Amino acid sequence: MKSLKEKIKNKQFKVVVIGAGYVGLPLACEFAFAKFKTVCLDVDREKVDKINKGRSYIKDVLSADLKRVVENKMLKGSTNFSFIKKADAVVICVPTPLSKTRDPDISYIIDAVEQITKNIKAGQIIVLESTTYPGTTEEVVLPMLESSKLKVGKDFYLAFSPERVDPGNETYQTKNIPKIMGGITKQCTEMAKSLYQEIIDIVIPVSNARTAEMVKIWENTFRAVNIGLANEMAMICDKMGVDVWEVIEGAKTKPFGFLPFYPGPGLGGHCLPVDPLYLSWKAKLLDTNIRFIDLADEINNEMPSYVVAKVNDVLNEHKKCINKARILIMGVAYKRDIEDVRESPAFTIIERLMDKGAIVSFYDPYVPKLKLKNGKELKTVLLTQLAKYDCCLIVTDHTCFDFKKIVKESKLVLDTRNATKGMKSKKIVKL
């Protein structure tokens, strides 16, 4: 173990990152920036080719930075998993979506671990970063790796370290977000921490991998449940004729005992709509129901339908039928100033408006086209002639949007994000 630590300190460690997405590519770059020779593996040939040309497809990674480490031969992309044989450390950063029945889908993790098991060698540090249910590292990953006849804590070191990526966050990125590290054994935690503290400012060890897995789930469950409360309060406030945004602004003046969470058109992104359900699924296996999670999920999933109903009501009030109404969706990314549409509520809102006969267009400078779940594809329109739309629906509040202009030139604006805060106009209807 001492010699391995010396190899880490001397930057003689070779690193493989499996998965070249929003988590994997920034992490691979951090290893490369720190002078670790790194290979980023992915089954997507297009991503691999872009990496090797120094062309970033992720906003949080600058093409200039990527090109520099590629040209310096510190980073390369590949679809060849045999690179694992030469690696001293392997980090798994693959997607963990939900299945059609909204159960955890860890098939990408299993595929990655199968490749590692085929190519594993003594002395490797293996870290799972993909969000999953507590127990995955110990119950699923470990037995697969030990089928190679190597033993954890002795022949290889296995740990879980939850990703904490926040796409588009200009303040907190991979390097300066504190990193939780939990190993199968104390030696595993120690070795994985030794590697990560070379690239991350603060690494915080916890007692084991299961605890580290629960940390990630707890973080996102906390947010999902509180956003569910905010969404429910928004619906209640609307019935009572109270501005929910003003209520939140008032409540957050209290200097203790309150954290502001905000309503919206529905949950989106790679974490909040998915991660809490991993814990809910695990709890059911233990004959336990986590009612807060299930209730919050139900409320949050109702929001796209609530928004569509609101559009219908507002159009009716203006003597316009939703059938054949021209509706412009402002922003389809799941949050402002990014191109990420994963789990965006815009998908459901657009499809349900179309089901009601609306003629739907969208404008998003970060998203050139959108492939709907029903197979249809829409392309972003030019932001001209706003008056031709019967309703402008703000789903994403990109900071580049000129909301004053939007309100001025539109017939009607339904604002689900409080983007028109402070503006007074009879055209504006809030969530």
Q: Which of 174, 207, 240 marks a domain boundary?
A: 207
* The total number of structural domains that make up the chain: 2
Token couple for 379: 């392309």
pLDDT at 274: 85
CB–CB of 127/141 below 8 Å?
A: no
Residues 199 and 262 both lie in one domain: no
User: Within a 10 A sphere around the Cβ of 250, how many other Cβ atoms?
Assistant: 10
336 within domain boundaries: yes
- Let me know if 271 is a catalytic residue: yes
Strand partners for 358: none
CATH number at residue 72: 3.40.50.720
Residues 200 and 327 both lie in one domain: no
Residues 70 and 201 both lie in one domain: yes
- Listing from the earlier edge strand, what are the strands of the sheet with 391-394? 359-363, 326-330, 391-394, 413-415, 428-430
pLDDT at 333: 96
Residues 320 and 412 both lie in one domain: yes
Classify the C-alpha dihedral 54-88-163-19 as positive or negative: positive
Residues 288 and 203 both lie in one domain: no
CA angle 226, 223, 106 (to 5 degrees): 130
Q: What is the pTM of this model?
A: 0.91
CB–CB of 217/278 below 8 Å?
A: yes
Token couple for 294: 């299930």
Inter-residue long-range contacts of 348-352, CB under 8 Å, 24+ positions, other chains counted: 348/266, 348/304, 348/305, 349/265, 349/266, 349/304, 349/307, 349/308, 349/393, 349/395, 350/378, 352/304, 352/305, 352/308
Active-site annotation holder among 40, 271, 391, 392 = 271
Token couple for 283: 């709890």
Residues 260 and 190 both lie in one domain: no
pLDDT at 202: 98
242 within domain boundaries: no
Q: Could you tell me the residue range of the domain that residue 319 belongs to?
A: 255-430
Token couple for 258: 């309150």
Residues 289 and 359 both lie in one domain: yes
Nearest to 369 by CA among 357, 381, 358, 360: 381
317 within domain boundaries: yes
Classify the C-alpha dihedral 223-224-229-230 as positive or negative: positive
pLDDT digits (tens), the chain, 431 positions: 668 888 999 989 999 999 999 999 999 999 999 999 999 999 999 999 999 999 999 989 999 999 999 999 999 999 999 999 999 999 999 999 988 788 889 999 999 999 999 999 999 999 999 999 999 999 999 999 999 999 999 999 999 999 998 888 889 999 999 999 999 999 999 999 999 999 999 999 999 999 999 999 999 999 999 999 999 999 999 999 999 999 999 999 999 999 999 999 999 987 888 888 888 888 888 898 888 999 999 999 999 999 999 999 999 999 999 999 999 999 999 999 999 999 999 999 999 999 999 999 999 999 999 999 888 899 999 988 899 999 999 999 999 999 999 999 999 999 999 999 999 999 999 98
pLDDT at 1: 65
270 within domain boundaries: yes
